[in-house]
Amino acid sequence: METRSAAQEGQSGTASSPAAASAPVAGAAHVGEADLARAVRMLQAGGVIGLPTETVYGLAANAADAGAVASIYRIKGRPADHPLIVHVASAEAAARWAVWSPQAQQLAGAFWPGPLTLVLPRRPEAPPFASAGQDTIALRVSSHPVFAQLMQALAPVGITGLAAPSANRFGRISPSRAAHVRSGLGEAVPLVLDGGPSAVGVESTIVDLSRGQPVLLRPGGISLQALSDCLGVPVRAADTQATAEADAPRVPGALPSHYAPSVPVRLLPASAVQALYREWAREADAQGVGAEEGSPGRSFWSEAGMQALAGEPAGFGTPPALPVSLQPGQPVALWTLQPPPERAGAFWRRQPADAATAARHLYDTLHQLDALGVQAILVEMPPDTPEWRAVRDRLTRAAA
């Protein structure tokens, strides 16, 4: 893995950050011919590969091959009743898998290729293996250049759809870099095409067009408003509106507990973060931590260098008023807007103030904080506004 990550890009607020070199650049990523040919051979033989998309990395297999699709479920440990999204090269290709409609055409015209998945009635002759028993099918055209490269190379061998859920074990943090796939799935996925860090960073927006009013099954990079504006009718959010039983989505966008690190994630409102910092500053003063000449201070992740400074891992307790209890003396990790007090003894990553940047950094940050051996990851909950919907959704599931 690179020593400097794109996750730092934009975090220090300095335009000259060396991390800018590894920032996702649309159109810049391509894989070599040898890797591409190997990917085609493996998919043709019913194998599974890791694949970059602009949302997250996918675990891809030929959607028309029952055995290959079964391998995805086995490798992920995904429940058999949880359907997979089929990735196709174009709207024309999608119309061969699903019963196409004017609404599908409107959304595809506006947002494909891009981070939008459409749920549509499946054509009776289309392979059913990704649908997990549903008579619907979820389709997307990714905008990642490596995806386009691969679909073009697959056309001559007759593969027109790739089932590709996120390339992580079921319920765990989604991968936004090739290295996350390798560390999460290892030998089970011998080929991971590396297309750089995912530019969007959270899973696609899913809209169900298979019955009546369009329903947002999963929030993502495309807002409810943008969808409604495009269609000229309101799109209903499955998670917030009271829906009649008959009308409720048949397949939820994601399960309540999902995207989770191995250590607990705790969400704190901004006011609670401030209260926690005040308490830590008070305790540090009371104990004189780091105040003595030459004292090593506490372990702390510097924003600039992402290096653990020398010192005892620490972590003070929590004020009783907070909705989280911490073991004193054991480190915690923080993803918050402001740094903790100097001597608090916590690992800290700055949470971007902008929702799109935060989405792009979300999973990489959770992967990094999860690897620190902390007792908990404390996350400042972003505001309840439309642009933060997808990040709040993923954080809520990571904390569930």
Q: Which residues bind ligand AMP (CB under 6 A)?
A: 82-85, 119, 131, 134, 136-138, 165-166, 203, 206, 217-218, 251-254
Q: Provide the minimum distance between the beta carbon of 97 and ligand AMP in the complex, in angstroms, as a whole number.
A: 10
User: What are the binding residues for L-threonine?
Assistant: 55, 87, 140, 164, 204
Which residue, 119 or 173, is less far from ligand AMP as judged by CB?
119
Token pair 């509106």: residue: 241
- Dist CA 353 CA 333 (whole Å): 18
Contact 389, 218 (CB under 8 A): no
Q: Which does 85 bind (CB under 5 to 8 A by kind): Mg ion, ligand AMP, none?
A: ligand AMP
Which residue, 62 or 166, is less far from ligand AMP as judged by CB?
166
Q: Which does 95 bind (CB under 5 to 8 A by kind): ligand AMP, Mg ion, none?
A: none
Q: Which does 251 bind (CB under 5 to 8 A by kind): Mg ion, ligand AMP, none?
A: ligand AMP
Q: Provide the minimum distance between the beta carbon of 343 and Mg ion in the complex, in angstroms, as a whole number.
A: 39
- Dist CA 210 CA 307 (whole Å): 50
Six token digits for residue 210:
């298979």
Q: Provide the minimum distance between the beta carbon of 218 and Mg ion in the complex, in angstroms, as a whole number.
A: 10
Q: Which does 149 bind (CB under 5 to 8 A by kind): ligand AMP, Mg ion, none?
A: none
Positive or negative CA dihedral for 234, 238, 239, 245?
Answer: positive
- Dist CA 69 CA 398 (whole Å): 26
Q: Which does 253 bind (CB under 5 to 8 A by kind): Mg ion, ligand AMP, none?
A: ligand AMP
User: What are the binding residues?
Assistant: 55, 78, 87, 136, 140, 164, 166, 174, 204, 218, 259
- Dist CA 265 CA 338 (whole Å): 18
Which residue, 122 or 298, is less far from ligand AMP as judged by CB?
122
Q: Provide the minimum distance between the beta carbon of 136 and ligand AMP in the complex, in angstroms, as a whole number.
A: 4
Which residue, 98 or 358, is less far from ligand AMP as judged by CB?
98
User: What are the binding residues for ATP?
Assistant: 78, 136, 166, 174, 218, 259
Q: Which residues of the chain form contacts with Mg ion (CB under 5 A)?
A: 166
Q: Which does 315 bind (CB under 5 to 8 A by kind): Mg ion, ligand AMP, none?
A: none
Backbone angles phi, psi at 215, to 5 degrees: -125, 130
Q: Provide the minimum distance between the beta carbon of 328 and ligand AMP in the complex, in angstroms, as a whole number.
A: 39
Which residue, 194 or 203, is less far from ligand AMP as judged by CB?
203
Which residue, 94 or 322, is less far from ligand AMP as judged by CB?
94
Spatial CA neighbour of 359 closest among 182, 165, 195, 198:
198
Contact 342, 302 (CB under 8 A): no
Q: Provide the minimum distance between the beta carbon of 137 and ligand AMP in the complex, in angstroms, as a whole number.
A: 5
Contact 362, 313 (CB under 8 A): no
